[in-house]
Structure 1
């Protein structure tokens, strides 16, 4: 059984709506269905929409720093990873230190979340 993920009520509402209007969002729907929804503050080490994080793909050894964003803001050259991408969906709701088994287009992999930074979240919520 997979570990429960944590999603803020705010992110949950946005992502649930996104699922109804986006083809290819089945995996995200599945993740949201098993999520623990937090009405209050989500711990800082949990990956949320707009979190900046660093993770390692254990299959390839590649370490990447990305910001998890909604599809309209995605730009992989700028490190902005869509929540609807296979890796974006995989990372949502997990915490720094977690290792996730996930199916990506290249096959099964393990994603190890090395660090999560909520600085981008604070800026966005104040605006």
Structure 2
């Protein structure tokens, strides 16, 4: 599957770049941000951003999950708040409703299909 460029707002980019420099183990996020298309104007509403709530389907298991993508300090998996620094959080950032992304899991690769994005991001 050809990987497309992700879209990130200038606001999110600035926050996440700072987070990368302050936190160890953020190589994958740095890599994604370096390839991102940075939007100084409004990001389309169906793009996963920091604070977005989204629903996605794991194509391998068929499981559908709804999560909110948040900064690490706000993460709480029991409340469905997924850290942007988690592997799946980093993988989902910047993609849109309808996109399918490859994701590495312990049992091999799976695909995550973004079903919908409900943005509450700034």
TM-score w.r.t. the length of structure 1 is 0.91
Aligned ranges 1:10-89 → 2 under 5 Å: 10-89=11-90
Q: Please say if residues 55 and 113 of structure 1, whose CA atoms lie closer than 8 Å, have aligned partners that are also in contact.
A: yes
- State the match for 2:103 in structure 1: 102
Q: Please say if residues 53 and 114 of structure 1, whose CA atoms lie closer than 8 Å, have aligned partners that are also in contact.
A: yes
Bigger helix fraction: 1
CA shift for structure 1 position 25: 0.8
Gaps in structure 1 of 5+ consecutive residues: none
Aligned residue pairs total 121
**Matched residues in 1 for 2:23 and 2:80: separation?**
22
**What is the CA deviation profile of residues 63-116 of structure 1, one whole-angstrom value per residue up to 9, with x for unaligned ones?**
000000000000000000000001100000000000001223453211100000
- State the match for 1:116 in structure 2: 117
User: What do you get for the CA RMSD once the two structures are aligned?
Assistant: 1.1
**What is the CA deviation profile of residues 39-84 of structure 1, one whole-angstrom value per residue up to 9, with x for unaligned ones?**
0000000000000000011121110000000000000000000000
Gaps in structure 2 of 5+ consecutive residues: none
TM-score w.r.t. the length of structure 2 is 0.94
**Matched residues in 2 for 1:72 and 1:13: separation?**
17
Question: Aligned pair in 2 of structure 1 residues 44, 23: CA closer, same or farther (>3 Å)?
Answer: same
